[in-house]
Amino acid sequence: MIQLSDWARDLLISRGALVEGEGEGVVRALVPPDVSAKLSVSDWLSLDFGTRVGADDPAEWMDRLSALLPPSPAVAGVRLRMRAPTQRIDADAILNRELVVQNGVWRLVEDYAGATPYYLFSFQHTVESDERTIGYAGVCLNGAARSLAEQPERLLRSVRDDLEDDPAFAVPAAELRALYPLAARAAEAEVRARIAFIEQSANRRLARDCERMESYYSGLLAQLEKRAARRTAEPQAAEKDRDRIQATQLDRAAKLEDLVRKYSLRVQLELTDVLVVSLPVRTISVRLIRKKAERQVTLAWNAILRALDTPLCEACSGRARPLYLCDDKVHLLCANCWSPCPACARVFCRACQPRCKCAKK
């Protein structure tokens, strides 16, 4: 079961909040105005779901935070009409190829056939700059393994003709609520990569316009200063010159702000629908070993895509491929969440501790 504080953190981040964690069960966040309005809180939200005296009520906050979830998207449950049993696989060879553990080793325990619900989240994204672009992004999550199936479009294309309505389907509300923030973050990363060229082009045009404007104003200011230097003997004229220079500088700053506003991108992500389908997998149990610590985890090999799902980072929920492990609890981490502290250069696990210990001294 996912921790409430993790869910709250992911959900707040997906709504544009700046979140910092401070130990077990605690979430502190700077939230944007629309979020603070929805939650009826100030800009700073501080939640404590620990067992301490005066901690926040988890049930109450689960309810309040649910206001941030998208208004009931269309959720459909389908099943595969025919399901041939998943054939045996060479799990060792697959892991050798697809499981890259950067700072540890893995040992295969066992693998067996099964079926697992996959959640295909569809998002529409609108990018507004000096023009408007609309696109779609899909994210496919494995609910049981909390991993990501890459290439959701290809996955859907491969099974589309074999899908039929699942009469026994009941909307898995709790699971959807837990998975939504992960899906939103994956979609955000995807959209971000996709609009990179729009961003680059906007940045290029911004740089060009700034340069033009800069050269216009520096010419103007140089003239004004020259004239002011000639007239220092006349106090009234000198004051006028000073005012003029100041006004021109203010004007330049305002124009610069306008330009930045003109070329900044506003990206909106909206969940349109979710398709839930149980797909054949091979469940692979592995022992992950890091120095003296080890931990057994289950990975999923998707039989439709014939590929290993990408594990999600246990600190930031981003893709953990290549995979890093921490020393103590063998958390599954992405490169960012197992990286040196910018202050003291000591590598630390962002899942074990949100901040480096050197910050507290």
Output 79 or 321, the one with its CB closest to Zn ion.
321
Output 226 or 360, the one with its CB closest to Zn ion.
360
CB-based contact 11:68 (threshold 8 Å): yes
Output 195 or 356, the one with its CB closest to Zn ion.
356
Residues that bind Zn ion (CB under 5 A): 313, 315-316, 318, 326, 329, 331, 334, 337, 341, 343-344, 349, 351-352, 356, 358
CB-based contact 129:264 (threshold 8 Å): yes
Output 215 or 336, the one with its CB closest to Zn ion.
336
Output 11 or 91, the one with its CB closest to Zn ion.
11
**At closest approach, how far in Å is the CB of 22 from Zn ion?**
15
Count Cβ neighbours within 10 Å for each residue of 256-282 and write b for 16 or more, e otherwise.
beebeeebeeebebebeebbbbbbbbb
**At closest approach, how far in Å is the CB of 89 from Zn ion?**
28
CA angle (276, 280, 285) in 5-degree steps: 110
Burial class (CB in 10 A: 0-12, 13-18, 19+), 59: exposed
**At closest approach, how far in Å is the CB of 321 from Zn ion?**
11
Output 141 or 275, the one with its CB closest to Zn ion.
141
| Nearest CA among 346, 348, 342 for reference residue 327 | 348
**At closest approach, how far in Å is the CB of 292 from Zn ion?**
14
**At closest approach, how far in Å is the CB of 326 from Zn ion?**
3
Output 244 or 329, the one with its CB closest to Zn ion.
329
**At closest approach, how far in Å is the CB of 357 from Zn ion?**
7
Output 224 or 330, the one with its CB closest to Zn ion.
330
Output 76 or 352, the one with its CB closest to Zn ion.
352
Output 279 or 326, the one with its CB closest to Zn ion.
326
CA 142 to chain centre: 17
**At closest approach, how far in Å is the CB of 71 from Zn ion?**
29
**At closest approach, how far in Å is the CB of 6 from Zn ion?**
12
Q: What Cα–Cα distance (Å) separates residue 66 from each residue in 204, 242, 268?
A: 40, 56, 19
Residue 306 to residue 9: CA distance in whole angstroms: 33
**At closest approach, how far in Å is the CB of 350 from Zn ion?**
6
| Nearest CA among 110, 178, 167 for reference residue 143 | 178
Taking residue 150's Cβ as centre, other Cβ atoms within 10 Å add up to 16
| Nearest CA among 19, 346, 356, 360 for reference residue 181 | 19
CA 284 to chain centre: 27
**At closest approach, how far in Å is the CB of 265 from Zn ion?**
24
Which residues have CB under 8 Å from 3's CB, separation 6+?
Answer: 25, 49
Residue 311 to residue 99: CA distance in whole angstroms: 9
| 94: Cα within 13 Å, side-chain hemisphere | 23
The H helix count followed by the E strand count for the chain is: 8, 16
Residue 74 to residue 275: CA distance in whole angstroms: 8
